[in-house]
């Protein structure tokens, strides 16, 4: 399990890069410039970059391929959140046209990521229930969407990552283990779960224990401290979380989705220092 021949764990150190300047202040560490972002990530020793873009048609594929070749980095995942934040699309909207658009947006994001062997993440595009939409109805829509999109991801050779969020961002699934039970009921095995340590700090009784009990579905980790600053600037007890990830033999991404605090480069350096402290 998890320990490579160099004595390093097989987990991969990853850093988020947002190419959406209008969302400045959001929880991404590197910003705006693809070439600069890749150069800094490579120089600091990260393995991969998690991309946050406006959508699949971003016109960056040539530059992206150049950067991947030049730096040797990989793409950890692609975030779909802009579908909600910029376009108002969710999988549980009361309007069927919006739900249909949400599905096709995510399908295209899966295709975009698959070009780079990277999974897409469904976080805020899951939406929420309320008003005319009952919890039961929203969960059914989410379930149908994940079945369909999970199978689409499998056909494209990648997985799809579903992310439980804290109570201020959704009322569908806030707890990691509730989301695990939800995934148990899907017939597709194309969907895995994201353990975002910031959301979990708000919702879980014991982050490490939840990850251990729900290890069967773990597909991605968002690495952030209690206050969503880079790990080391908050008060989450990271040692037992790291220990659990090693014990369960997790071999996926440890991806820093955190505020660029106090600035991008300091945040990136703090993150890689914390990654080395806990995982090498
Ligand atoms: C996305 O990964 C996430 O964690 C959400 O909080 C974004 O709204
Ligand atoms: Mn997250």
Tens-place pLDDT, residues 22-41? 999 999 999 999 999 999 99
What is d(CA 10, CA 121) in angstroms, rounded to the nearest whole number? 21
- Which residues carry out catalysis? 163, 257
Distance of CA 63 to the CA centre of its chain: 23
Question: Which secondary structure element, helix H or strand E, spans residue 255, and what is its range?
Answer: strand 253-256
**Residue range 228-266, pLDDT digits in tens:** 999 999 999 999 999 999 999 999 999 999 999 999 999
Q: Which atom of ligand 1 is nearest to the CA of 165?
A: 6
Distance of CA 48 to the CA centre of its chain: 13
Dist. CA 222 → ligand 1 center (Å): 9
| Beta-carbon contacts of residue 65 (< 8 Å; ≥ 6 apart) | none
| Beta-carbon contacts of residue 51 (< 8 Å; ≥ 6 apart) | 16, 17, 19, 75, 77, 78, 79, 118
Among protein residues, the one whose CA lies closest to atom 6 of ligand 1: 165
- Ligand in closest contact with the CA of 256: 2
% of the chain beyond a pLDDT of 90: 94
- For residue 157, count other CB atoms closer than 10 A to its CB: 8
Looking at the DSSP bridge assignments, the partners of residue 78 are: 51, 120
Distance of CA 265 to the CA centre of its chain: 21
What is the average pLDDT score of the chain?
A: 96
pLDDT value of position 8 = 57
Q: Give yes or no for a contact between 158 and 106, defined as CB atoms under 8 angstroms apart.
A: no
Q: Does any ligand 1 atom lie closer than 6 A to the CB of residue 76?
A: no
**Residue range 138-147, pLDDT digits in tens:** 999 999 999 9
Predicted confidence band of residue 2 (pLDDT cuts 50, 70, 90): low
Q: CB within 5 A of ion ligand 2: which residues?
A: 196, 222, 257
pLDDT value of position 6 = 45
Among 3-12, 27-36, 153-162, name the one with the lowest average pLDDT: 3-12
Dist. CA 163 → ligand 1 center (Å): 8
Predicted confidence band of residue 3 (pLDDT cuts 50, 70, 90): low
- Ligand in closest contact with the CA of 126: 1
**Residue range 70-126, pLDDT digits in tens:** 999 999 999 999 999 999 999 999 999 999 999 999 999 999 999 999 999 999 999
Please list, residue by residue across 140-149, b when 16 or more beta carbons sit within 10 angstroms of its beta carbon and e when fewer do: ebbbebbeeb
What is d(CA 75, CA 103) in angstroms, rounded to the nearest whole number? 22
**Residue range 183-207, pLDDT digits in tens:** 999 999 999 999 999 999 999 999 9
Top mutation candidate among 121, 165, 228, 256 for ligand 1, by most atoms within 8 Å of CB: 165
- Whole-model pTM over 0.95: yes
Q: How many residues does the chain have?
A: 280
Domain ranges of the chain: 12-279
What is d(CA 270, CA 229) in angstroms, rounded to the nearest whole number? 10
Q: Does any ligand 1 atom lie closer than 6 A to the CB of residue 165?
A: yes
Level-2 CATH architecture, domain 12-279: Alpha-Beta Barrel (3.20)
What is d(CA 221, CA 270) in angstroms, rounded to the nearest whole number? 17
């Amino acid at each position: 399990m998890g320990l490579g021949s160099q004595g390093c764990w097989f987990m991969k150190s990853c850093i988020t890069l947002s190419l959406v300047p209008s969302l400045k202040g959001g929880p991404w560490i590197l910003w705006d410039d693809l070439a600069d972002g890749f150069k800094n990530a490579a120089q600091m020793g990260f393995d991969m970059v998690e991309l946050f873009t406006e959508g699949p048609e971003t016109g960056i594929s040539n530059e992206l391929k150049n950067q991947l070749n030049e730096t040797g980095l990989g793409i950890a995942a692609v975030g779909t959140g802009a579908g909600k934040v910029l376009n108002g699309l969710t999988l549980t909207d009361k309007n069927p046209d919006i739900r249909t658009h949400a599905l096709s947006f995510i399908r295209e994001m899966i295709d975009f990521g698959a070009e780079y062997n990277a999974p897409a993440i469904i976080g805020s595009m899951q939406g929420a229930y309320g008003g005319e939409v009952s919890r039961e109805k929203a969960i059914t829509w989410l379930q149908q969407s994940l079945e369909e999109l999970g199978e689409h991801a499998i056909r494209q050779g990648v997985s799809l990552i579903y992310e439980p969020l804290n109570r201020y961002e959704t009322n569908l699934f806030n707890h990691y283990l509730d989301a695990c039970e939800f995934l148990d009921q899907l017939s597709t095995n194309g969907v895995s779960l994201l353990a975002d340590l910031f959301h979990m700090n708000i919702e879980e009784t014991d982050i490490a224990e939840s990850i251990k009990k729900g290890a069967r579905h773990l597909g991605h980790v968002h690495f952030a401290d209690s206050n969503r600053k880079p790990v080391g600037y908050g008060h989450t007890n990271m040692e037992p979380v790291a220990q659990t990830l090693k014990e369960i033999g997790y071999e996926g991404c440890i991806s820093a989705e955190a505020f660029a605090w106090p600035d991008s480069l300091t945040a990136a350096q703090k993150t890689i220092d914390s990654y080395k402290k806990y995982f090498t």
